[in-house]
Chains A and B, each alone.
Chain A
Amino acid sequence: MQPPWREGHKFCCMKHHLLILFGLLAWTLGTAQNAVTRGKELFGDLKARHIGPALMSGRVTDLELHPTNPKVLYAGTAGGGVWKSSDGGARFNPIFDDYCQSIGAVAIDPGQPDKVIWVGTGETWTRNSVSIGNGIYKSVDGGINWIKMGLEKSERIAGIAINPKNSNEIFVAVLGGLWSDSADRGVYKTSDGGKTWEKILYVDAKTGCADLAMDPANPAVLYASFWEFRRTPWSFSSGGNNSALYKTTDGGKTWNKIHNGFPGGKLGRMGIAIAPSNPNILYTVLETEKDQDRGLYRSDDAGASWKQLNKDFGIVVRPFYFSRINVDPRNPDVVVKCGLTGSISRDGGKTFRDLGPMHSDIHDIVFAINDSERIFAATDGGIYRSWDGGTTMEIVENLPVSQFYHISVDNEEPYNVYGGLQDNGSWFGPSSSPGGIEARDWHSVGAGDGFRVLPHPGKYLVYSEMQGAENVWLTDVAKNQVRTIQPLAAPGDPKLRWNWNAPMATSVHQPDRFYMGSQFLHKSEDMGNTWTKISPDLTTNDPAKTNAAESGGLSRDNSGAENHCTIFTIAESPLAENIIWVGTDDGNLQLTQDAGKTWKNVAPKVAEMPAGTWVYHVEPSRFAKGTAYVVFDGHAQGDFNPYVFRTTDFGATWTSIITPDIEGFARNIQEDLQNPNLLFLGTEFGLYITTNGGKTWSKFTNNMPAVAVHFIDIQPKTNDLVMGTHGRGVIIIDNISILRQITDEVLNKELHFFQTGPATLFDENSFGGTSGETQFVGANPSRAARIIYYLKKRHTLGKFTMEIQDANGKTVAELTPGKSKGINIVEWGFTTKAPKVAKGQTLSFDAFTTPRATAGKYKIVGQKGNESFAIDLEVRNDPRSELTAAQRSQKEATQQKLFDMTQGLAYLVYELDEIVKTAQQVEAKNPKLAKMVAPVISDFTKLKETLVITKGDNYVGAGEPQLREKMAKIYAGFASSFFAPTANEMANFQYVESAYTQAQRDFTALKNLHLPKLTGWLNKNQLPALSIQPFDVFLKQP
């Protein structure tokens, strides 16, 4: 936008001048105000932390190997972005966090493999829960920075082929829309490195390019498979008359079908692979009308003719989910086919055997560039690597791309997070754990695909389920007992229809109450033992949408994923147990205010809300009975707009709270527990927050990838915002209570301190975790005191300091203030200054222990440029502490004595060293005195040898511990203990104290004996007098 004064305003008179000036000022302030309320600029230091888990990982869609460097590989994932390994696949790092996390294809430019990487977004393994893409991206620096290069409407990109001789020439396979017609499908070509694209092969709006292969020896030769397919919320169809395999030999100008040897009729999804060592050998897998025609076909004449070789289960299984084939780069007869287990042939495709045990559902298999024994596989449960040609597979352990459908939290300390994962069961794990949250911290509470997992509100019991509520479990975690509790059909019941992701709910009013939704709402008051239907069929019960058993197209695919006309969300009002909201996948939003006696469909009837749109989530308000938020999701009908409405009158009227700030369709909204204007919205591209009830929304991007947020909860004790993401595991923003205090007034202040309440000295320590460096470890929350303030502008020029003062104004710690515009969080781990320690030959590691601050009142005192400020901070003891006041005071007093003794000893040793140094100067100046000086030096040196270690190193060459080491040991014991001093410790303290007193006496005696002589020698030899710095000056020295 051009500021108005750049448009040639001329000031003609003072009055006019002032008017314009004030106009400009208003404009500037307006701009500034808008600027500060947005995203990063508001959230500042408020950062998300990722806790994984990674032990089961998540769906990986595409693997890509660097063509010359065997250490480098890339992985595209279903919902967790792109990851790069630079160590041969031992560890991976995310490199695509700011962009769409659903990845179809990754490609490395063979001409510039260290630099140019392409990412096509939008997964192409088109299961019911698949996400969407938003175009193609390019990096020219090995994945550090990314530029979007168009194809925004492609929805899903199946392949990218780059001319090895011309980096500007790239072919892209656009599979296109899954739930709608699209004219954007087809093969695209750029000749200018992605600046412009030309669609060079298009079939129709239903048929997209599912695979693309370029002849490595002749880049003008390409093969493209086209696939007719469509999904609706209640069906899937693979195959049609327009599915075909095409070939071009002129760089895409002309394409011909190459079906010689294929059966007639409709075809489904086909993979295509060229043997790199002999480009005349091709492999494809056909999905056909007749079972006997399916399977692996091979051509030995570059596609001129084909021969069917194999139709084993592993080859023909679920073509829409597994169609990829790859060939060993060194041997044209070694072929791998993705599938339920993954298959490998060593006889040119005639016979196959399964790859070794790993997570099922294999989407890509690649051979390392220099060694065919090294194989990597992309599965629904992460990346596996093999060192023996695929017989033994081991999982990559630092890939937290788990796909949660739902999460919940309990009220334990630390609280646990519960959730279910795509093809990876149901789990719970702690929000904090010694050394970080590791694989071993997670507990399995369900098999199959996992969805909703809810803790019993009062007992150590967990509800969980598998797809379509085939099983709903109640696990007694303490006893290791699982029982199955799902509502079963009773006489007179129709078939119960359960969503793939069937809803369940507990109640804040009745701890043993448990709800489940089929087409009916089922209620149990005894944790699932006894069930009552408390509704009629709440769905549209449309016969056209309840034929999931016929789903699949050419290959029957009745997994339950297409069950429709089902209840999807259930929410009992936290304010009144008779108020229950139910949302269905076919667009009904049902409300009862009498616990199910009567129901009313109150779906918003506004023009922008298409009828029949999936009701994804209802959030009844905590603040008013008639208020609720509802999230509709139309993506499975090809509508990617977000829909969120609020009612304040039990659904009679609805207001949209969506603004153009929001990108991506929404699935979940969470109302804050205290501030009704603070709302959190999960969309397909990340988290959005409003602090003004939905008038404006800001995207939260601090360590928060653009990942699909499927469910959000707030833990009431910690005020942590906990997100279940579908691709990056559980992500937490610790303590969002600060956001409750955001107002326009705050945002217009130069510096504003937020109320944080008292800080707690948690009595916790541990030896940490057990994970190795190749394993993911989730971040713990900070236990430090947090000083939180808002800065209107980043501090860059001039000094900005901050310190903590105790009640007497004494500085106990210096802090480094945050400098960002927006929210700054400065942490103080309650550490105060460490004692100054006697200098020895070695370091005393115990003496590095810093005393922890004690409970009481403190002040944060700061100086920012010329501005000074002071804020109070209260520190309180851990409420769990068992120390009595008398014990605490004894502990603190003893610890302080040891601290003072440590510094006293340091000063004594310093003084002693100065005396010895001075005596040595006398000796040097007047060698005749050597004999007389020698006993002085020797007496002091002997004393020193009992005070500090004077020989050896910091490892096993260390000398015997002396007074410093003994003193430091008991000092560190006190400083790091949460317990009352024991008799053992007090006796040792007395032992050290008396040794110290004796050392002081001995030192004084030696000084009395020797210093008069030394002073005399110094005088006589015109040497400067012995100079000892005062204690306080000594303490300040490095």
Chain B
Amino acid sequence: MKAIKLLFFLVLAAGSALAQVTTAEEVVKKYLEATGGAKWNTLEGVKMEAKVSQGGMEIPIEIVQLKDGRTYTSITFQGTKIMQNVFDGNVLWGTNFMTMKAEKSDAEATGMFKTDLGDFPSPFVDYAAKGYKIELMGTESIDGTNTYKVKLIRKPYTIEGKEVENVNFYYFDADSFIPILLETEIKTGQGKGMISQTTMSDYQEVEGLYFPFSMGQGVKGGGSQPLTITKVELNPKVATEAFTLPADK
């Protein structure tokens, strides 16, 4: 009987895909429910320990993101920490690899960063209140699996002096409503005009919230750089100085 129940479940599961959802709102609602629900709103910050493998080197990375927008990524090379994408609430900065000293990011990069402030923990949490728009583009097979493609339109960026649309495409697994791919047109720099892709998998629960513990970053048609997350800490205590642009010594 147990076997029959399981079979029945399998049959239903196989048939349910793509049957119900017709709007982006539903997809996003199910995604938030499936990954933690209301708990996302109470989250104050996360600290992630991760590693990137590059040519056999395992590079340890620590990423901190706080609800107020402060963030840093610290990369450790040969015991030396290099700070990247650090935001103290006002200034966006990073360590220059040559001098190992802190340098401010350019005004447009900082402006783009500030445009997206308030996205923590996900742009989809209270997206309407943030003035974001979402749109269901249809279904698509990604990594061989059925997904819902949702267009997210955030506040416009200013790039090379011109206002441009700030659009991302999320692909949510049609069975679990968990995002497995994020696509964005690269608007500036060497990859301009190409489509960046971030894949997400190995979702695991951390105190009631689900995070992807494996990600891949690349451009469409090209290779992908994997990032493996080894630990996620919720609501971490981080000293204010960790975000502050250091004074030149």
- Interface on A for B, CB 8 Å cutoff? 3, 5-6, 18, 21, 24-25, 28, 31-32, 36, 39-42, 44, 69, 71, 84-87, 91-93, 114-115, 141-142, 144-145, 703, 773, 791, 793-800, 813-814, 816, 819-822, 829, 831-834, 837-840, 842-844, 847-848, 850-851, 953-955, 957, 1038
Contacts and interface: CB of A to CB of B under 8 A. Distances in A.
A3 B15 contact: yes
B56 interface: yes
Contacts of A848: 55, 57
Contact of B56 (A18, A798, A850, A1038): A850
A955 B98 contact: yes
A842 B100 CA distance: 8
Interface stretch (B63-71, B76-84, B104-112, B233-241): B76-84
15 contacts: A25-B10, A87-B192, A793-B145, A794-B143, A795-B201, A797-B203, A799-B213, A813-B56, A822-B143, A833-B56, A837-B78, A838-B78, A850-B57, A954-B99, A1038-B79
Contacts of B56: 813, 829, 831-834, 850-851
Interface centre among B76, B141, B167, B213 (most CB of A within 10 A): B141
A92 B194 CA distance: 10
Contacts, number: 155
Contact of A41 (B57, B141, B185): B141
Interface string B177-199: 01010000100001011110001
A32 B14 contact: yes
A741 to B, nearest CB: 18
User: Which range contains the number of B residues in contact with the other chain?
Assistant: 35 or more
B11 A794 contact: no
A405 B47 CA distance: 56
Interface of B: 4, 7-8, 10-11, 14-15, 19, 53, 55-58, 60, 76-80, 97-100, 137, 141, 143-145, 151, 160, 162, 164-165, 167, 169, 173, 176, 178, 180, 185, 190, 192-195, 199, 201-204, 213-214, 216, 221, 226, 228
A806 to B, nearest CB: 14
Contacts of B77: 843
Contact of B144 (A799, A821, A843): A821
A39 B176 CA distance: 23
B214 A819 contact: yes
The winner among A91, A813, A842, A843 for most chain B CB atoms within 10 A is A843
Contacts of B203: 796-798
A574 to B, nearest CB: 35
Given A795-B201, A954-B100, A24 B176 contact: no
B98 A954 contact: yes
Given A31-B14, A114-B165, A21 B145 contact: no
A210 B160 CA distance: 39
Contact of B141 (A5, A40, A795, A797): A40
Contacts of A834: 56-58
Nearest to B215: A816
Contacts of B58: 814, 833-834
Given A28-B14, A821-B144, A831-B56, A21 B80 contact: no
A85 B193 contact: yes
Given A791-B144, A814-B228, 12 more contacts: A21-B11, A31-B14, A40-B144, A41-B141, A86-B192, A87-B192, A141-B167, A144-B167, A794-B143, A848-B57, A850-B57, A954-B97
A25 B11 contact: yes
A797 B8 contact: no
Contact of A953 (B79, B99, B160, B173): B99
A821 B216 contact: no
B78 A840 contact: yes
A816 B144 contact: no
B226 A816 contact: yes
Nearest to B227: A816
Contacts of A84: 193
Contacts of A819: 143, 199, 201-202, 214
B195 A798 contact: no
Interface SS majority for chain A:
loop
A25 B164 CA distance: 51
A840 B77 CA distance: 11
A508 to B, nearest CB: 36
Contacts of B53: 814, 816
A172 B200 CA distance: 42
Nearest to A32: B14
A86 B151 CA distance: 22
A833 to B, nearest CB: 6
A957 B178 CA distance: 49
A794 B180 contact: yes
Contacts of A32: 14
Contacts of A814: 53, 58, 228
A955 B15 CA distance: 61
Q: Which of B57, B60, B180, B221 has the most CB of A within 10 A?
A: B221
B99 A955 contact: yes
Given A839-B80, A850-B56, A795 B99 contact: no
Contacts of A36: 144
Contacts of B151: 141
Contacts of B213: 799
Given A21-B11, A833-B56, A794 B162 contact: no
Nearest to A41: B144
A821 B143 contact: yes
Contacts of A850: 55-57
A829 B143 contact: no
A749 B14 CA distance: 17
Nearest to A86: B193
B165 to A, nearest CB: 7
A800 B204 CA distance: 11
Q: Among the interface residues A21, A848, A957, which one has the most CB atoms of the partner chain B within 10 A?
A: A848
Given A832-B56, A833-B58, A844 B143 contact: no
Nearest to A48: B221
Contacts of B80: 839, 843
A451 B165 CA distance: 45
Contacts of B192: 86-87, 91
Contacts of B201: 794-796, 800, 819
Contacts of B11: 5, 21, 24-25, 28
Contacts of A115: 165
A821 B214 CA distance: 16
A797 B78 contact: no
A353 to B, nearest CB: 35
Contacts of A797: 176, 178, 202-204
B78 A69 contact: no
B141 A800 contact: no
Contacts of A833: 56, 58
A1038 B76 contact: yes
A989 B1 CA distance: 71
A144 B195 contact: yes
A157 to B, nearest CB: 24
A29 to B, nearest CB: 9
Contacts of B169: 144-145
B170 to A, nearest CB: 13
A954 B213 CA distance: 33
Contact of A957 (B19, B99, B180, B190): B99
A796 B173 contact: yes
A21 B7 contact: yes
A687 B4 CA distance: 42
